[in-house]
Amino acid sequence: MFTCCIRYVVESNKRTEFKEYARAWIPLIEKYGGTHHGYFVPPESGEPFPEATFSFPGLGKNGPANIALALFSFPSVEAYERYRVEVAKDKKCKEATARFNQTKCFSSYERNFLKPIFSKYD
């Protein structure tokens, strides 16, 4: 199993469009064998969120207010490769891509593939 972590730089005036983009991709990933853990977006101005506190003084800092994350997992590289082939043919995928091309709701992204650690027995 591995998890894909995508870090987006979201256009601050296009958060609604980004949320629409995110909601389009969750069922596509699940339809083709993935487990989606959600998209995570920064709070809107004025939303009650805790202040950032850090366990290691001098090392931590507040993150940027325009970063969103998506996390989804696949049981194997083969399953992920099948997803990539099949989703590219899907009408909903094409619609989500076209919608992004219209809105440009994020300006860049980074993709990492990570191995989860769940316990001392992994």
In angstroms, rounded to a whole number, what is the distance separating the alpha carbons of residues 74 and 84?
Answer: 11
pLDDT for 122:
55
Q: What is the reported pLDDT for 121? A: 64
Q: Is the pTM of this model over 0.75?
A: yes
Q: Around 122, how many Cα atoms within 13 Å sit in the side-chain half-sphere?
A: 8
Q: For the residues of 62-109, what is the DSSP string, one character each? A: PPPTTEEEEEEEES-HHHHHHHHHHHHH-HHHHHHHHHHHHH--EEEE
Per-residue tens of pLDDT for the chain, all 122 residues: 999 999 999 998 999 999 999 999 999 999 999 999 999 998 888 888 887 777 777 787 888 889 999 999 999 999 999 999 999 999 999 999 999 999 999 999 999 999 988 877 65
Listing DSSP states for 36-50 in one string gives: EEEEE-PPPTT---P
Q: For residues 96 and 25, is the Cβ–Cβ distance under 8 A? A: yes
